[in-house]
Every structure is written in C-alpha cells, then in structure tokens.
Amino acid sequence: MLTKITQFRYAQALLPGTLPILCHAAILFTPWRPLWLVLIAATLAYYCYPQEVNTPGRHAQGRALLAFTPVTAAVAAGTGLSIAWSLALLATAAMIAVEALLAKVVSAAKIATAHLETRPETSDSPVRRSALYYLSTFAVLVVQVPLLFSGFAAATPYAVVLAALPTAVLAAARFAGLTHRVLPSTEDITEIVAAELDRRAPTFMVYFAGPKDTTYQLEMWVPYFERIEGSYFVMTRERHHLPALAAATDAPVVFVQGQGPIDLVIPETVTTVFYVNNGMKNMHMVRNPELLHVQLLHGDSEKISSYNPVTAMYDRVFVAGQAGIDRYADHGVHIPLDKFDIVGRPQVSDLEVPRTEIGSVESPTVLYAPTWTGFYEDANYCSLKLGPKLVGALLERGATVVFRTHPYTDRNEGAKRKRIEVEELLRADAAKTGRAHRWGAAAESEMTLFDCVNTADALVCDVSAVASDWLYTEKPFAVVDARKEGEAFAATFPPARAAYVVNGSGSNIGPVLDELLGTDSLAGVRAEAKTYYLGDFPAEGYDRVFIETAQKYIDNGRTGTA
C-alpha cells in the first residue's frame, strides 16, 4: 500500500501533462472565459513554481501544448487562424524546441568541481539557464493574453510575434554559444581535472550517489576521513550534491555526469574507494577491478538498508559490531565472513557514558525521537500516533522532554498533526512548570542528534539507528512496537531485547516508564548488547579502530589485506 507521500509524488508527476489538457478541454466544452483564465493561470503558475532549478526543456511538452490553446479556441469558435497568429504560435513553439535542444547540450556537461584551483564548468550557471526557461514561459503567457481577455477579434497578433521573436533569438544565440563552448571541450575539461588530481596524489576516494537531501550520509564520515593519512577526493554523480559536499569538506569534490569520465579522472595513486550507501550508480564504480571497494553505510539499524543483498558486491564491508554481520545471515543474505571487518561506529565516540543510575536522577530528561512513516506502509514504524499519550505520561512524571522528529515527519499529514499536538503539550507544560522542554528548531537545528543524546537520561524511540547509537551510552531506553507485532517484535528489532517495549496500543506505558525511569532491570543486558552492536573496544581510542583499519587497506590497495 502506497503512503500519502508516494501517492502525492505520482500525482505530481502527472500534473505537468494533465494541466494543459484540462485547459484545452475547458476551451472546447465551456464558453465561460473566466474558467479558461483560472486554469491557464494555474498551469503557468505551476510551471513557474521554483520546486527546483527550471532548466531548459523542463515541462517542454506541457508548455508547448499550453501555447496552442488559441488553436483549440479557433476550432471551438469555428474560425481560422490568421497568418500572424500562426507565426506567433510557431515562434513560441520554436523557443521551446530550442530549449529542448539546449537541455541536451547541457546534459552533455560531464564535470563540475569544488576545491580545485581550476573550476571547470561545462554548462551555463543555473541562474542563466532558469532565466531562459522563464523567458520562454513568459512568451507562452503572451500568446494567451488576447485569447483570455478579448478573444481573436481584438487581438494584435503582430505584437505577439514581436514579443515572442526576441526571446526566440536569444534562446538560439544561447544555444549556439553553448554548442560551440561545450561539445568540443568535454575531453579537455576531463584532462584538466585529471591533471590537477594527479598533482594532489590522493590515496583514496569517497564515491557518493543518491537522491536530494541525503548528503548527511557522507557528512557523518568526513571527520574520520580527514584523520586518515594521505589525501582524498569525493566523487559525486549528481550535480545537486555539489554545494553541500563542498561545504562539508575541504577535499576536492568532483561531479561526474555519465560513466565515460569516471575512470579518466581517478589518479593512479588511489587504491581504495569508500561508499556510504547502496546507491544504484555505485555499480558504475564497483566494476573497476583495480581498486579496493569498501562499504561503510551510514547507520546501524534493523531496516533493510543494513542487510541489503547489494552489499555483497563490495570487496570489504565495515560493520560496527558482530550484529552487523549476523544481520545479513539472519535475513538470508549470504556474504562471505572474510569480507567483514568490525570497526565500531566512530561517530558514537562523542557520546558520554554517565555513571549515575537512572533511579537516582530526580528530574530526568527524556529524549523522544520517533522515526517517519516511510514511503510504504510495510515500512511504517512511526510511533507518533502514540506521541501525545507517551509525552503526556512523561510530563506527569515530572520529566523534561527533548522532542526530536525525523526530517521527513511532515511528509505524512497524520504524523504532522501528532507532531503539532505533542509540541502544544510541551509548550503548555513549559509555561506551567518552567521545565526547559525542547522541540522544533531548539532540538533539531540548534542541537545535533548526539547533543540530544548527551542531554538525555533516557530515550524513547522507534525502529531506527537511534537505538543502536544509544547503546553506547549504556543509559536505559524504550522502543515502541508501532506495528503491534507483539512477541514477534524482538525478531523484527533485536535491540528490543535490551529495551523496555511500549506495545502498539500504549496500554503498558505506565509499567514501561516505571522501569525506564526507575527500576531499570535491563542494565546488564544493555551492556552485553553494546558490545554486540558496537564492538568490544575500549572507550579510549574507540574511534581509532575505524581509522587504523581503513589506513591498512589503503596502504595495501587491491591486495585487500589489513
């Protein structure tokens, strides 16, 4: 079953072509001109809404279809089109056709970089390209004006032609300039980037591919890459990641579009490639047999991303603890044991391990960190439907609550409503008691997740990597069985054996909080789980395990020995 966000995305994909069809249908089947105006205006507004950079060629078919509404109007009125009107429509169509050609030229751009002395950019800036998009979209509007407000009788089509032609000429000029500048220089640009990387002689590289808003997967590893001897560079396969990655590291960042230039820019000094996810484009790099390919992933959880069969294609798989190895076998994914290295999870070394038992804390601080609903219902582990009940019970016990939601929480309307309800509870209680609850920006922007963890004495969470990281602190935590799996929940989420489980109805919240904030009978179990999930390494130098293991593979290269 598709979630609402997935349904919305399907609808969003259909809108660009559906809206102009509705405009034509309205003109054909209703004489009411205001309806035409509303539909055409809504369509143009949708095309101009800045959801992303409006590059040439975007919504080209829809805008061309919209431009020809005067033809439909002429058919509906039983009249013909004058030569001038025909020229106006052809000029507008020509501009959009030029855009489509320009889009192909821009797509031929292979490389863009950051933190290199030479910053080749083989396409126009997004601002200039979006300006061209808006100019031709404005021309589409121009050819609608007489139709919308006065009909053909009072139209001045010659003026329409004059308004449209300059934009068409500009588009043609831009296209001709880009054709001259881009196509002949692609090989030269690749050579320039390759030469500069050769001079820097990096010993390893980080390869990153993925959807928008996923650069956090790599950003969490940057501080540890920086501590490995030698230099490195980052290769990304999507242009939209370039600004964020450039801000995250001072190492060179190279965007490569298309497979052709990938191997051409990698210096011979590089022995090892690190990956932080199982992006589909990873195979474009893994196919290179001369390099050692190491998968790190970006978190340790019981979700499928932590036991994806695709992981088997890498030479080495770094995991935090023995649980990271067993998880694959437990889900029927066969990866030879000699491919794994247990290296801990260096990020958790920033977490504090208190020596105070929870029962002696008079006014405990509790972190409530629910996950999101996911794209599909069978991946929905979000506990926010119980959020107000959970938080209300915590407030009754005098707890201070840090409420940190998942970045995608508001993509589901039901979860958004519960999020607002929880925040209203916290706001009211803070005003009444003076307790320093944190939510919204105070917990999600001003604090990192690990800041929240260090602040809290106990945790309530869902099926997510938060629980695995929390184990390092040895502090008590509770997990919500949001899918009401009952006894099977421990199999779905093995860390639950070290946690106090809130059932799906929330009927046992009271007894769970008695344990979580008082008795804490699972302290010993948590200590064992910490070793199982995060490795048996001393706290001092814990983060060095990853760095030293990575260094050994980099030094040995394709031999694959540490």
* pLDDT of 153 higher than 50: no
Instruction: Report pTM.
Output: 0.72
Burial annotation 197-219 (CB, 10 A radius, 16+ → b, else e): beebebbbbbbbbbeeebbebbb
- Neighbour tally for 361: CB within 10 Å: 15
Higher pLDDT, 174 or 409: 409
Per-residue pLDDT reduced to its tens digit, 229-271 = 999 999 999 988 999 999 999 999 999 988 888 999 999 999 9
Per-residue pLDDT reduced to its tens digit, 268-298 = 999 999 999 999 999 999 999 999 999 999 9
Between CA 423 and CA 386 the distance in angstroms is: 13
Between CA 475 and CA 487 the distance in angstroms is: 24
Do the two domains 201-344 and 356-534 of this chain adopt the same fold? yes
Q: What is the pLDDT of residue 119?
A: 59
Beginning with the edge strand found earlier in the chain, give each strand of the sheet holding 365-369 in spatial order. 400-403, 365-369, 458-461, 477-480, 500-502
Residue 506 backbone phi and psi in degrees, to 5? 80, 10
- Provide the β-strand partners of residue 342: 319
Q: What is the pLDDT of residue 142?
A: 73
Q: What is the pLDDT of residue 562?
A: 55
* pLDDT of 180 higher than 60: no
* pLDDT of 402 higher than 60: yes
Q: What is the pLDDT of residue 171?
A: 56
Per-residue pLDDT reduced to its tens digit, 299-312 = 888 878 899 999 99
Mean pLDDT of the chain: 86
CATH class label, 201-344: alpha beta
What stretch of H or E contains 232?
Answer: strand 232-236
Between CA 368 and CA 455 the distance in angstroms is: 12
pLDDT band at 74 (very low <50, low <70, confident <90, very high): confident
Q: Which two tokens stand for residue 167?
A: 């934009």
The fraction of the chain above a pLDDT of 90, given in percent, is 58
Secondary structure (3-state) at 391: helix
Q: Radius of gyration of the chain from Cα atoms?
A: 29
Q: What is the pLDDT of residue 125?
A: 43
Per-residue pLDDT reduced to its tens digit, 31-45 = 888 888 889 889 988
Per-residue pLDDT reduced to its tens digit, 186-199 = 577 888 899 999 99
Tell me the mean pLDDT in the region 313-329: 97
Between CA 322 and CA 532 the distance in angstroms is: 5
Q: Which of 290, 236, 244 is nearest to 267 (CA)?
A: 290
Q: What is the pLDDT of residue 179?
A: 47
* pLDDT of 9 higher than 80: no
* pLDDT of 178 higher than 60: no
Between CA 521 and CA 157 the distance in angstroms is: 83
CB-side neighbour CA atoms (13 Å) of 165: 11
Find where tokens 């803070």 sit.
430
Q: Where are the domains of the chain?
A: 4-115+128-176, 201-344, 356-534
H-helix segments, 499-543: 509-514, 523-534
Residue 515 DSSP one-character state: I
Per-residue pLDDT reduced to its tens digit, 499-550 = 999 999 999 999 999 999 999 999 999 999 999 999 999 999 999 999 999 9
Q: Which amino acid is at 155?
A: A
Which superfamily, per CATH, for 356-534?
Glycogen Phosphorylase B; (3.40.50.2000)
Tell me the mean pLDDT in the region 337-366: 94
Query: For residues 261 and 237, is the Cβ–Cβ distance under 8 A?
Result: no
Between CA 83 and CA 157 the distance in angstroms is: 9
Between strands 204-208 and 477-480, the pairing is unpaired
Tell me the mean pLDDT in the region 86-114: 71
Beginning with the edge strand found earlier in the chain, give each strand of the sheet holding 340-342 in spatial order. 111-114, 253-256, 232-236, 204-208, 272-275, 292-295, 316-319, 340-342
- Provide the β-strand partners of residue 177: none
